[in-house]
Amino acid sequence: MSVATAELVDYDDVIAAYEPVMGMEVHVELSTATKMFCGCANRFGAEPNTLVCPVCLGLPGSLPVLNGAAVESAIRIGLALNCDIAPWGRFARKNYFYPDQPKNYQISQYDEPIAVNGYLDVPLDDGTTFRVEIERAHMEEDTGKLTHLGSDTGRISGATTSLADFNRAGVPLVEIVTRPIEGTGARAPEIARAYVTALRDLLRGLGVSDVRMDQGSMRCDSNLSLKPVGAAEFGTRTETKNVNSLKSVEVAVRYEMRRQAAVLNAGGTVTQETRHFHEDGYTSPGRSKETAEDYRYFPEPDLEPVAPDAELVERLRQTIPELPWLARKRIQQDWAISDEVMRDLVNAGAVELVAATVSHGASSEAARAWWGNFLVQKANESEVELEVLPITPAQVAAVVKLVDEGKLSNKLARQVIEGVLAGEGEPEQVMADRGLALVRDDSVIQAAIDTALEAQPDVADKIRGGKIQAAGAIVGAVMKATKGSADAARVRELVLAACGQSG
Ligand SMILES: [Zn+2]
């Protein structure tokens, strides 16, 4: 049950009396080809229980084998977060019984994580940054997915049937845990959102995950406690689980601040528990929080320790790209565009796509025009994100090149791009198959002009008599006859020349 809005403390009153302390735990699924400890494909959206084997189903006698690519991704995440990389560390078994985990334990890193002691300087809307300290980033395997049927909420309580899909069981995860985030005051909800946004952008820039919060490949648990202003001791925290959008991160933190303040103001104590986040903006109690002792951790005997050598770590360090928000600042300067234009491109998710198109040889103006206008429109029509449109920056750059070379008009180029989006192949292929090449042969255009002038002798006479604006009708007829594949400016030149006018 939610606390009624009337019982929540007014936000300004929360800030006057209390200091919020946050802690963020973000799980990210790595986009490796295969799972963490077996060769099953790591893919979202397959038929249930089709991506499974004895290892990830926890069948007796099966043995895990560590995925080296997942370890490299975890190290790169650690390096990007300015962490120290542990030269040696063991996996542990985290024991618990739950039907989404067929082994009855999860292989995780407990007290020997791959990456420790880092930080992320999080950019805020006002142009300043806030440093969030990272306690650790560790590797573990994901659980399967349960679907509960028969209850109103889709949760287990009241359900009549539960379905288990183990496709996700054993998918590599990295969990990134912050140190307590203090000193934010009233900006706590904003900083929580900004941190998760920055982390998402960072991970996307590393190419280690598709970071889709809507599909669960990035999941955020937000911890929050309040302490009286000036107090040294932290209050009791709650952990709001699986907050699944950036906006919700902000909403969940704000709600918990107001709810906990109400509990404390009434002389009560905050219960240490996990809480569920509801899309309409409140949290409700889940289970009381387990402690580490409950999990009976012990070192995983079936796996060797992870011991990345210094050379590997240095090689991976060379692959860490510039921070995406710094890259954007530099890009904005390179492209010489206003804050507003840049913001539109960022909001459309177009910056990286435009940059990639430029790297394939297109001008930034042309690349921006295609991604920022025509393709955004196509994405909106299909109700998908720009980046999942079935066209690559290389293909857009190829279309730009065809326009620059005079082989396509902008109008024909739009049709070529539509063909690429429809799965008709590469731009050149679409152009050939659809017969979209711009007519470069003046004799073809000339023949169409002669036909048009003969068909409209009165118009032809007007042009010959000096009314050159009448040429539009002939140009239109020629464009129609050539199905738009002629260059209209060239047609106009030839029409005027045919009628003895210089234009
Ligand atoms: Zn498997």
Q: Separation of 295 CA from ligand 1 center, angstroms?
A: 24
Q: Which residue, of 270, 290, 313, is where some domain finishes?
A: 313
Same domain flag for 297 and 166: yes
In a domain, 327, yes or no: yes
pLDDT at residue 1, as a whole number: 44
In a domain, 201, yes or no: yes
Q: Separation of 53 CA from ligand 1 center, angstroms?
A: 4
In a domain, 35, yes or no: yes
Cβ–Cβ under 8 Å, residues 148 and 155: yes
pLDDT, tens digit, 9 for 90 and up, residues 235-272 = 999 999 989 899 999 999 999 999 999 999 999 999 99
Cβ–Cβ under 8 Å, residues 420 and 426: yes
Q: Separation of 114 CA from ligand 1 center, angstroms?
A: 23
Q: SS3 sequence, 178-216?
A: ECCECCCHHHHHHHHHHHHHHHHHHHHHHCCCCCCHHHC
Q: Separation of 95 CA from ligand 1 center, angstroms?
A: 20
For residue 404, what are the domain limits?
Answer: 322-434
In a domain, 278, yes or no: yes
In a domain, 133, yes or no: yes
Same domain flag for 222 and 352: no
Tally of domains within the chain: 3
Q: Which residue, of 313, 338, 357, is where some domain finishes?
A: 313
Q: Separation of 302 CA from ligand 1 center, angstroms?
A: 16
Same domain flag for 105 and 172: yes
Q: Separation of 61 CA from ligand 1 center, angstroms?
A: 14
DSSP assignment of 355-424 equals: HHHHHTT--HHHHHHIIIIIIHHHHHHHTS-GGGSS--HHHHHHHHHHHHTTSS-HHHHHHHHHHHHTT-
Same domain flag for 309 and 189: yes
Same domain flag for 268 and 336: no
In this structure, what CATH number is given to the domain that contains residue 493? Answer: 1.10.10
Q: Which residue, of 402, 434, 466, is where some domain finishes?
A: 434
pLDDT at residue 290, as a whole number: 67
Q: Separation of 40 CA from ligand 1 center, angstroms?
A: 4
Same domain flag for 418 and 446: no
Same domain flag for 111 and 219: yes
pLDDT at residue 481, as a whole number: 87
Q: For 92, left (φ over 0), alpha (ψ -120 to 50), or beta?
A: beta
Q: Separation of 170 CA from ligand 1 center, angstroms?
A: 7
- Identify the helix (H) or strand (E) that includes residue 342: helix 339-347
Q: Separation of 147 CA from ligand 1 center, angstroms?
A: 20
In a domain, 424, yes or no: yes
Q: Separation of 86 CA from ligand 1 center, angstroms?
A: 27
Same domain flag for 286 and 426: no
Same domain flag for 165 and 77: yes
Q: Separation of 226 CA from ligand 1 center, angstroms?
A: 43
pLDDT at residue 151, as a whole number: 83
CA angle 222, 223, 226 (to 5 degrees): 135
In a domain, 488, yes or no: yes
Quote the CA–CA distance of 51 and 42 in Å, as a whole number: 8
Same domain flag for 345 and 295: no
Quote the CA–CA distance of 343 and 360 in Å, as a whole number: 23
Q: What is the pLDDT along the chain (503 residues), one digit of tens a residue?
A: 445 555 899 999 999 999 999 999 999 999 999 999 999 999 999 999 999 999 999 999 999 999 999 999 999 999 999 999 999 999 999 999 989 999 999 999 999 999 999 999 999 988 899 999 999 999 999 999 999 998 877 777 888 999 999 999 999 999 999 999 999 999 999 999 999 999 999 999 999 999 999 889 999 999 999 999 999 999 999 999 989 899 999 999 999 999 999 999 999 999 999 999 988 889 999 877 667 778 999 999 999 999 999 999 999 999 999 998 898 889 999 999 998 899 889 888 899 899 999 999 999 999 999 999 999 999 999 988 898 899 999 999 999 999 998 888 888 899 999 999 999 999 999 999 988 887 778 888 899 999 999 999 999 999 999 888 889 999 999 988 887 788 888 899 899 998 888 65
Same domain flag for 304 and 331: no
Same domain flag for 243 and 341: no
Q: Separation of 394 CA from ligand 1 center, angstroms?
A: 35
pTM: 0.78
Q: Separation of 94 CA from ligand 1 center, angstroms?
A: 19
Q: Separation of 62 CA from ligand 1 center, angstroms?
A: 10
